Amino acid sequence: MAAEPLPGLVVALVANFCWVQLDQPGADGVERLLCTRRTRLGKSGQSICVGDRVRVDGIDWQAGRGAVAVLEPRQGLLERPAVANVTRVVVVVALAEPALDPMQLTRFLLTAECTGQPVLLVLSKADCLPTAEVEAWLQRTAAWGYPALAISSRTGVGLDALRQRLAEPGIAVLCGPSGVGKSSVLNALRPELGLRVGAVSGRLQRGRHTTRHVELFALAPGALVADTPGFNRPQLPEDPSLLAGLFPELRQRLEQQRCRFSNCLHQEDPGCAMGRDWDRFPLYSQCLVDALAEAERQDRSGGRTDQPGLRQRGSRLEPRLDPSLRQGSRRRQRQELLDGEP
């Protein structure tokens, strides 16, 4: 009789393998297994992400290997970086080196808001700016709806408060641009991790990618945090009408007073309750322009399809012809006849 698959948590993806932390240690006290994925999961279109709850069978305890046989239902997914069952998103941006870009920060916050989970904003490298400038950024982001934490991995400022927030049970994801110090923050919270860090490019003032994959680390019992590779251009929601709901200050105003039209895009249209007397109005407007342009581009191209057996022709999909049913080229047929003549 085959043994029941053992439950565990995917804590890292490396190439075509995943590391699974078992709920209970197995033979010889083995707690973590390097696993492949059963073929039937791939055939059914099920992909594995860090943070997924899975069940493992075919275990070789001596080699520390196994195979993921079952992917349990998710409670949500952060698409970029791909982490499942996220309970909060921690957006980390640097106040300096590289300098904080309000538009880039806004796009990261929008990505975090799309998850529907609580969002925590962390302003790193607080020791690189005068106290007055740090306080100004804290007041500004608080007006956006994000009471932020200003921290410094070098001096330790704010780390105790961050440790308390990350010690809450669940999976927290650190996301943000390259070079803002996400791995340095984790090293400061857990020095034994020894995560690789790098300096910011001196010429371009851009971060260098030091984290190559997503991995979960335990900070407290039941509390996990994901270190993720940095990226600098978060995507906007596909539906431009959803954009306003991702701005906390917009949501707060609309709870107090509704616009005249339900499909208002809040661009000073007649009957709009928002106006332009709020800090991120120019950022919202630019994001809306970009989202509308992308939606229009998708409409013109007809969108993309990943459906097998179909191809895009203009604005519609049509079946792909089986290669065995294609009629050969007449030119090629004539050439083959000529080649065959003595």
> Which pLDDT score, from 0 to 100, does residue 314 have?
43
81 Cβ contact list (under 8 Å, min separation 6): 173, 175, 214, 226, 228, 229, 231
- Can 6-73 and 78-227 be said to share one CATH topology? no
| Mean pLDDT, rounded, of the chain | 81
In angstroms, rounded to a whole number, what is the distance separating the alpha carbons of residues 147 and 139?
Answer: 8
Residue 281: pLDDT band with limits 50, 70, 90 = very high
Q: Does domain 78-227 have CATH number 3.30.160.40?
A: no
Phi first, then psi: give them for residue 144, nearest 5 degrees.
-75, -20
Q: Cα separations (Å) of 12 from 19, 27, 64, 229, 239?
A: 5, 22, 15, 13, 31
Residue 173, token pair as written in the block: 């994801």
Strands 32-37 and 17-22: antiparallel
Residue 315, token pair as written in the block: 């604005």
Which of 238 and 312 is assigned the larger pLDDT? Answer: 238
Residue 133: pLDDT band with limits 50, 70, 90 = very high
Q: Over 60: is that where the pLDDT of 209 sits?
A: no
For the chain, the structural domain boundaries read 6-73, 78-227, 240-301
In angstroms, rounded to a whole number, what is the distance separating the alpha carbons of residues 143 and 49?
Answer: 35
Per DSSP, which regions of the chain are E strands?
6-14, 17-22, 32-37, 53-60, 65-71, 77-78, 83-84, 88-94, 119-124, 149-150, 170-175, 215-220, 223-227, 310-313, 316-319
Quick check: bond before 319 cis, omega within 30?
A: no
Read off the pTM.
Answer: 0.76
Residue 307: pLDDT band with limits 50, 70, 90 = very low
**What's the pLDDT tens digit per position in 139-171?**
999 999 999 999 998 888 999 999 999 998 999
Architecture of domain 6-73: Beta Barrel (2.40)
Give mean pLDDT, residues 81-99: 89
Q: Is residue 140 helix, strand or coil? A: helix
In angstroms, rounded to a whole number, what is the distance separating the alpha carbons of residues 212 and 128?
Answer: 26
Residue 194: pLDDT band with limits 50, 70, 90 = low
